[in-house]
Chain A
Amino acid sequence: GQSLEQPSEVTAVEGAIVQINCTYQTSGFYGLSWYQQHDGGAPTFLSYNALDGLEETGRFSSFLSRSDSYGYLLLQELQMKDSASYFCAVRAMIKAAGNKLTFGGGTRVLVKP
């Protein structure tokens, strides 16, 4: 099965940099995804790492290291609107898993002025 661990909460000030770690135990997966969810809203797809290394999308970057069973989401130049929960997720590399995602418990990011 799959198990993903994230810190429950991170607090930072505007303009700062936040790194949200995701450590996982899984027998094999296609890639690591990140979703953002604002309070009262729906999760929305942010980024995907199929290969080891860094993927950059504007102020957000995501990193994957399969050898270390570890990934992270980096939020730079934090803005108040970045206050949200962030979830990592994997899709298992077994036929029975199909297109199912397993999500981590989520990290709540609070950005202060």
Chain B
Amino acid sequence: DAEITQSPRHKITETGRQVTLACHQTWNHNNMFWYRQDLGHGLRLIHYSYGVQDTNKGEVSDGYSVSRSNTEDLPLTLESAASSQTSVYFCASSESLGTDTQYFGPGTRLTVL
């Protein structure tokens, strides 16, 4: 069965370190998204991609970057982790044609000390 996975599921790091969160989907979807979820803020879009070599900034992109070298993967990098980036991160994907249905990964809980 097709799926979307994230790794690691839990990560503790220190302020200033570079961190990369992995997202891998086997749906063969062109669209992939990264969200962060904090209490009281719902899901906020960080970065997204509509295909290989395409990346776009979301509403809270400062301090984050993504790259899309193939259809299956969209890794999220925190260039220099800050305590304000402690959050739960979700990756999602959707089909190319206009759709409101996104499939979410299980999430990564990141703690920055």
**Interface set of A (CB-CB < 8 Å, partner B):** 30-31, 33, 41-45, 48, 87, 89-91, 98-106
Contacts and interface: CB of A to CB of B under 8 A. Distances in A.
Contacts of A91: 98, 100
Contact of B102 (A90, A101, A106): A101
Q: Chain B interface secondary structure, helix, strand, loop or mixed?
A: strand
Q: Chain A interface secondary structure, helix, strand, loop or mixed?
A: strand
B50 interface: yes
Contacts of B43: 43, 87, 103, 106
A89 B45 contact: no
A100 B98 contact: no
Nearest to B35: A103
Nearest to A90: B100
B101 A105 contact: no
Interface stretch (B17-25, B62-70, B71-79, B104-112): B104-112
Nearest to A89: B100
A33 B98 contact: no
A89 B90 CA distance: 16
A30 B105 CA distance: 24
A43 B44 CA distance: 13
13 contacts: A30-B100, A33-B100, A33-B101, A45-B101, A87-B43, A91-B98, A99-B98, A100-B45, A101-B100, A103-B42, A103-B43, A106-B42, A106-B43
